[in-house]
């Protein structure tokens, strides 16, 4: 199997995962609209407290044994059974800790109703580890269409069950009922769609443990990386400023959370397949990273340039203070895809210790930098410090897979130069045309439908200018260079594969 074939299959798999993210977002939105009319805010708050506590306990014990199985070329029953046993044991232990910790959480939140809710969440957490470990074969073979189906049906039934129980009871237990339905249906489906039947066995656990141990340490370092800022921003600037800071970060990285993050599993599986087939996964990683950068860089620039309108449309006028923060956080989109690709490559090639070293280093850097920024400067500077730390993280990850020598290295460098120049051209176009940062459109009224319409039109204009300038200049440079192998080649082939059936259908209907 060629490198291009693997990369193309990886992007197709990423398309399935992105489709899943879009579907689940749409279902969640519809469900929230209905439930908001059947339940009261306190019901949502209670369940949010419970899931925050159970999620924190669960995050501390993530092993990552499935990643080890994805890297292997063959189905090793010994390792699969050991992975199933470890995951089942971990889930039972985690579920027990959640249930036993329920009284402590109830006292911390001053909410006695949390105790039965956390007991139920503990039981559901315990069930999660008993899913069929054979499902990992679909990820390993890039069969993410199956993952989509196995995820979609339980999610649909969860929405139906939650709304039905909420209609009948008007109680927060409807949310728990929906979670239980989803968990039980998914558990059953993993055994229905895959013939593997795991057994309890610890043979081969040492091989899994060494690999998973470093992944666990890396996850702890990432926990510090992800959760440190609220603990210092909140006491310094207050709850309102912390809320604006958090929401601005979530909004600004939507292109990453909705497109790149769902593709992370696909990248791991694709690089692992390249390794097993004797291809150099490092060579695959560069065009994939550049292709993602080419797709997302215009989005990040347009979001930064129109941050005021983004906040106005998505959040409303009362969140106007978040606009400058969104403008800063959006620059994360300009390099974050490279970090995701590099992390997936390190795990796929078994270099998990390096991932931990990088994450531990950048977590330590971020703690020092953010602490100093919070102590000395305002929120916008703190946001800039966070973005700078993310750039350092990406550089350190890229350093783990660089250099790429020979013809592949020259192609990678050429692709990087074209994408970088395309980003600069897009930046210049947004500045020189007067539609970007500080343009009159950003001052459109926000409290009425007409103001929202103006903001939407302005964002569309920003997107057209950014995408047109970036992609147009990259395409021109690519043709001038003789259309060498690079991110443009990969994207055009993938686009052709998706468009070919559509064109055939159009011809057949004419």
How many CA atoms lie within 13 Å of 127's alpha carbon, on the beta-carbon side? 17
Using the predicted structure, report yes or no on whether residue 446 has a pLDDT greater than 90: no
Does residue 282 sit in helix, strand or coil? helix
pTM: 0.72
Select the more confidently predicted residue: 181 or 285: 181
Rounded CA gap, 119 and 101, in Å? 9
Exposed/middle/buried for residue 375 (C-beta within 10 Å: 0-12, 13-18, 19+): exposed
- Read off the pLDDT band of 283 (50, 70, 90): low
* Residue 267: closest CA among 9, 10, 67: 10
Using the predicted structure, report yes or no on whether residue 299 has a pLDDT greater than 70: yes
**Contact present, 310 and 251 (Cβ < 8 Å):** yes
Rounded CA gap, 300 and 423, in Å? 10
Using the predicted structure, report yes or no on whether residue 118 has a pLDDT greater than 90: yes
Task: Summarize the confidence of residues 117-125 as an average pLDDT.
Answer: 92
Percentage helix, strand, coil for the chain under 3-state DSSP, each rounded to 5 = 85, 0, 15
Residues in the chain: 510
- DSSP assignment of 61-77, as one string? T---HHHHHHH-SS--H
So what's the pLDDT on residue 445?
Answer: 43
- Read off the pLDDT band of 505 (50, 70, 90): low
Is the dihedral angle over the CA atoms 283, 288, 289, 291 positive or is it negative?
Answer: positive
So what's the pLDDT on residue 281?
Answer: 57
Does residue 343 sit in helix, strand or coil? helix
Q: For all residues of the chain together, what is the average pLDDT?
A: 80
Exposed/middle/buried for residue 277 (C-beta within 10 Å: 0-12, 13-18, 19+): middle
Supply 225's token pair: 């990386």
How many CA atoms lie within 13 Å of 497's alpha carbon, on the beta-carbon side? 14
* Residue 343: closest CA among 362, 330, 370: 362
Rounded CA gap, 158 and 174, in Å? 10
For residue range 28-43, what is the model confidence (pLDDT) as tens digits?
A: 767 766 777 788 777 7
Task: Summarize the confidence of residues 13-23 as an average pLDDT.
Answer: 73
**Contact present, 7 and 270 (Cβ < 8 Å):** yes
* Residue 205: closest CA among 343, 69, 58: 69
Angle in degrees, 0-180, between the axes of helices 264-276 and 3-38, rounded to the nearest 10:
160
**Contact present, 387 and 262 (Cβ < 8 Å):** no
Rounded CA gap, 351 and 166, in Å? 48
- Read off the pLDDT band of 331 (50, 70, 90): very high
**Contact present, 346 and 352 (Cβ < 8 Å):** yes
Task: Determine which helix (DSSP H) or strand (DSSP E) holds 30, and give its type and residue range.
Answer: helix 3-38
DSSP 277: T
- Read off the pLDDT band of 458 (50, 70, 90): confident
Is the dihedral angle over the CA atoms 201, 206, 211, 214 positive or is it negative?
Answer: positive
Rounded CA gap, 116 and 112, in Å? 9
Q: Which region among 64-78, 131-145, 346-360 has the lowest average model confidence (pLDDT)?
A: 64-78
So what's the pLDDT on residue 210?
Answer: 67
- Read off the pLDDT band of 392 (50, 70, 90): very high
So what's the pLDDT on residue 468?
Answer: 93
H, E, C per residue of 95-143: HHHHHHCHHHHHHHHCCCCHHHHHHHHHHHHHHHCCCCHHHHHHHHCCC
For residue range 188-224, what is the model confidence (pLDDT) as tens digits?
A: 999 998 888 888 888 777 777 766 777 778 877 887 8
* Residue 12: closest CA among 504, 505, 502, 497: 497
**Contact present, 310 and 436 (Cβ < 8 Å):** no
For residue range 44-80, what is the model confidence (pLDDT) as tens digits?
A: 777 877 877 887 787 766 666 777 777 665 667 888 8
**Contact present, 68 and 211 (Cβ < 8 Å):** yes
So what's the pLDDT on residue 338?
Answer: 83
DSSP 316: -
So what's the pLDDT on residue 348?
Answer: 75
Centre a 10 Å sphere on the Cβ of residue 406 and count the other Cβ atoms it contains: 9
Residue 36 sits at the vertex; the CA angle it makes with 32 and 39, to the nearest 5 degrees, is 120
Using the predicted structure, report yes or no on whether residue 157 has a pLDDT greater than 60: yes
Select the more confidently predicted residue: 471 or 260: 471
Share of the chain above pLDDT 70, in %: 83
Rounded CA gap, 478 and 462, in Å? 24
Rounded CA gap, 369 and 430, in Å? 31
């Amino acid at each position: 199997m060629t490198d291009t074939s693997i990369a193309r299959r990886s992007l197709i798999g990423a398309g399935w995962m992105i489709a899943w993210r879009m579907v689940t977002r749409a279902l969640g939105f519809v469900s929230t609209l209905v439930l908001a009319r059947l339940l009261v805010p306190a019901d949502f708050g209670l369940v949010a407290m419970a899931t925050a506590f159970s999620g924190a306990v669960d995050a501390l014990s993530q092993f990552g044994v499935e990643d080890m199985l994805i890297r292997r070329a063959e189905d090793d029953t010994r390792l699969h059974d050991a992975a199933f046993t470890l995951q089942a044991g971990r889930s039972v232990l985690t579920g027990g800790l959640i249930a036993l910790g329920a009284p402590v959480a109830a006292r911390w939140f001053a909410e006695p109703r949390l105790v039965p809710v956390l007991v139920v969440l503990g039981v559901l957490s315990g069930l999660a580890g008993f899913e069929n470990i054979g499902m990992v074969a679909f990820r390993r073979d890039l069969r993410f269409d199956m993952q989509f189906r196995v995820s979609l049906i339980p999610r649909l039934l969860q929405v139906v069950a939650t709304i039905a129980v909420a209609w009948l009871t008007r109680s927060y237990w409807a949310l728990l009922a929906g979670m239980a339905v989803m968990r039980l249906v998914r558990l059953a489906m993993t055994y229905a769609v895959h013939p593997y039947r795991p057994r309890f066995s610890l043979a081969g656990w040492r091989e899994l443990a060494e690999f998973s141990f470093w992944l666990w340490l890396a996850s702890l370092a990432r926990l510090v990386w992800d959760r440190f800022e609220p603990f210092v921003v909140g006491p310094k600037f207050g709850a309102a400023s912390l809320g604006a800071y958090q929401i601005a970060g979530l909004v600004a990285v939507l292109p990453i959370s909705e497109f790149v993050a769902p593709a992370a599993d696909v990248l791991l599986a694709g690089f692992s397949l390249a390794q097993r087939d004797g291809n150099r996964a490092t060579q695959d990683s560069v065009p994939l990273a550049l292709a993602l950068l080419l797709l997302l860089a215009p989005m990040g620039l347009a979001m930064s340039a129109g941050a005021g309108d983004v906040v106005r449309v998505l959040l409303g006028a009362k969140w106007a203070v978040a606009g400058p923060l969104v403008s800063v956080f959006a620059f994360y989109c300009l390099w974050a895809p490279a970090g995701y690709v590099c992390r997936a490559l390190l795990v796929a090639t078994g270099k998990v210790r390096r991932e931990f070293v990088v994450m531990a280093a950048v977590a330590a850097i971020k703690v020092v930098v953010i602490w100093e920024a919070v102590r000395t400067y305002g929120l916008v500077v703190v946001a800039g410090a966070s973005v700078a730390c993310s750039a350092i993280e990406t550089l350190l990850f890229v350093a783990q897979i660089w250099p790429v020598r020979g013809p592949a290295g020259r192609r990678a460098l050429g692709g990087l130069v074209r994408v970088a120049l395309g980003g600069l051209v897009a930046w210049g176009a947004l500045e020189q045309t007067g539609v970007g940062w500080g343009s009159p459109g950003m001052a459109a009224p926000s409290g009425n439908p007409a103001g929202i319409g103006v903001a939407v039109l302005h964002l569309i204009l920003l997107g057209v200018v950014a995408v047109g300038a970036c992609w147009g200049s990259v395409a021109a440079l690519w043709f001038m260079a003789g259309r060498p192998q690079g991110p443009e080649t990969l994207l055009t082939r993938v686009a052709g594969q998706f468009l070919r059936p559509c064109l055939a259908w159009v011809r057949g209907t004419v």
